Copies of this chain bind each other. A is one copy, B any other.
């Protein structure tokens, strides 16, 4: 079988830490504001608190977000901020998705 393309496939360059659906959502929302509140992320992404916490831990361990505990009045709040590395990782993901989309749209069936 011959291949029309000899270069590595765009998905081989995708990072699962960033590409995973929920984490991609967290990064894109965090990209839209200086910082976002935990409950806001949970609502926007339709997640349980436990599920969101797990994904935030993965992103925090990779240095892509910072998670801060604080207060809004008397109520505890958790704030999430995209790091410079997180911003770069999101930009890289978007660039690779564009390559993938271009490839899908310029090919298709025989």
Q: Which residues of chain A have a CB within 8 Å of any CB of chain B?
A: 1, 3-5, 8-12, 14, 16, 19, 21-22, 24-25, 28-29, 31-34, 36-37, 40, 44-46, 87, 90, 94, 97-98, 100-101, 103-105, 107-110
The residue in chain B whose Cβ has the minimal distance to the Cβ of A95 is: B101
In the complex, what residues of B have CB within 8 A of residue A103's CB?
28, 32
The reply to whether B28 and A100 contact each other, CB–CB distance below 8 Å, is: yes
A45 and B109 form a contact (CB under 8 A)? no
Q: Contact at B104–A31, with CB atoms within 8 Å?
A: yes
**B-chain residues with CB within 8 Å of residue A16 when the two chains form the complex:** 21
Q: Please determine whether A44 and B98 come into contact, CB atoms closer than 8 angstroms.
A: no
- Minimal Cβ-Cβ distance residue in B for A37: B1
